Amino acid sequence: MDGAIASHILEHLPGESFFHFMRELWRVSKHGAVTEITLPHPSHDIYLNDPTHVRPVMPGTMVMFDRAYLAALAARGDYLTSFAERCGVDFRFGPTVRYDFDPAIDKNDPDLERRIKHERNVIFVWQSVLTAVKQ
């Protein structure tokens, strides 16, 4: 497969099915295949109000499938759980993450960074890409 879109999927996958999805995505992807991911932000009502949302997924979750990122962290003495190793996959995450703000949010608010960290309903969804790495 050359590419895929995973929009509002990962937050619905309970338990081990999340890791099964990542293994299958990697298995069917060609080297360099790009998967566009879109997820609701877990501190927004769009996430909280849906009883089928069973797991928050953030950029920090997805970097744990990126062997190069994990190796760079380990080289400086920092470690994250290697879901890449656990699942036998390797995805480059990013290089950018796009945040879509709730329509009620003023993107020019000088207090926006604090609001993102401490308030609900600021970020509506986030988007990025995973690129399959195969030798």
What pLDDT digit, counting tens, does each position of 84-113 carry?
999 999 999 999 999 999 999 999 999 999
Share of the chain above pLDDT 90, in %: 99
Cα separation, 45 vs 67, whole angstroms: 33
Higher pLDDT, 80 or 53: 53
Cα separation, 4 vs 36, whole angstroms: 6
Cα separation, 24 vs 45, whole angstroms: 30
Average pLDDT score over the chain: 97
Give me the mean pLDDT over the 118-129 stretch.
97
Residue 135 in this model has a pLDDT that exceeds 90: no
pLDDT interval class at 124 (50, 70, 90): very high
What pLDDT digit, counting tens, does each position of 13-45 carry?
999 999 999 999 999 999 999 999 999 999 999
- What are the contacts of 116-123 at 24+ separation with CB within 8 A? 119/43, 120/43, 120/44, 120/45, 120/48, 121/43, 121/44, 121/45, 122/41, 122/43, 122/44, 123/41, 123/43, 123/44, 123/99
In the chain, what are the domain boundaries?
3-132
